[in-house]
Amino acid sequence: MGGKNPRVTKEQAEQAIYNRFATAYMAHYGATLEHPVHRDKPDFSAQDSVTMQTVGIEVTGAYQDAREAEINYWLSGDWGILTGSFENLLDSINRTLADKVHVSTGYEPVGPLLLAIWVGSFIFNEKRDMSFLTPRLTIPPNTLSLIALVVTEDDTAIPALHILQEATGWRRSGPA
């Protein structure tokens, strides 16, 4: 392949993952994430429209390889032939879980902390694929209130949550 394809910025990529997560959050919980603030450590904070609590949201993506990660953020370009490696995606998600759990311990407390991992695979990205993947994931001990894979509904491009971990009662009513 020739020169570099135009890419989105890190901030644009984080915003895109947040937007997918917010859509899936609404479908799953029946609540919007209002007044989002793009920040650092965690990436966003927003207010749950039902509970009125402020939540911190760390967003990231998991991809089967560097090429797939790049393609996810190209503004234009020729993708060529796409192949899938379930094992590589599994390893990537496990590495992402370990990394994000480790670094999140130093994040500023802004309320319950949520981790949203966009599954950026072009082959394995639907809810039904997660039934094969989830049993082989390793979630390290952590204090996160929610860990969710952001995938697509089967046979559509609509974002959906696949919950990996959810703390009991984290969506309490009232401001954080």
Residue 5 lies in a domain: no
Expressed as residue numbers, the domain containing 137 is 10-166
Q: For position 2, what pLDDT does the model report? A: 47
Asked whether the predicted pLDDT for residue 4 surpasses 80, the reply is no
**Residue in the structure block whose two tokens are 């190209």:** 74
Confidence band, pLDDT 50/70/90 cuts, at residue 172: confident
pLDDT tens by residue, 111-132: 999 999 999 887 788 888 898 9
57-75 pLDDT tens trace: 999 998 887 766 666 665 4
How far is it, in rounded angstroms, from Cα 13 to Cα 59? 9
Quick one: what percent of the chain has pLDDT higher than 90? 60
For residue 171, being part of any structural domain is answered with: no
In a domain? residue 174: no
Q: Give, as one character, the DSSP assignment of residue 41.
A: S
Q: How distant, in Å, are the alpha carbons of 18, 57, 73, 94 from that of 46? A: 11, 8, 24, 26
Distance separating the N- and C-terminal Cα atoms of the chain: 50
Q: What is the pLDDT of residues 37-53, one digit of tens each?
A: 999 899 999 999 999 99
State the total domains in the chain.
Answer: 1
Over residues 147-165, the pLDDT tens digits come to 999 998 887 889 999 999 9
Res. 1 pLDDT band, cuts 50 70 90: very low
Report yes or no on 1 lying in a domain.
Answer: no
pLDDT tens sequence across 72-99: 665 455 656 666 688 988 999 999 999 9
Average pLDDT over residues 102-116: 94
